Amino acid sequence: MFEEMTSLERCLATIRLQPHDRVPVDLHNFMMTIADLALFSAKLYQDGQLLGEAQLAAWKRFGHDMLLIENGTAALAEACGCEVSYLPGSAPVIAHHLLADLSEVSSLRKPDPSNSPLCKAVLEATRFVLDRIGDRVFVMGRADQGAIQPGVHDRWGRNIDDGDGSGRKR
CATH 1.20.1280.50 fits 7-141, yes or no: no
What is the pLDDT at residue 159?
41
Its pTM stands at 0.77
Burial class of residue 112 in the structure, from the number of CB atoms within 10 Å of its CB (0-12 exposed, 13-18 middle, 19+ buried): exposed
| Residue 75 neighbours by CB distance under 10 Å | 32
What is the pLDDT at residue 112?
80
Those residues of the chain that have pLDDT short of 70 are 1, 36-41, 144-170
**Domain limits of the chain?**
7-141
What is the pLDDT at residue 137?
92
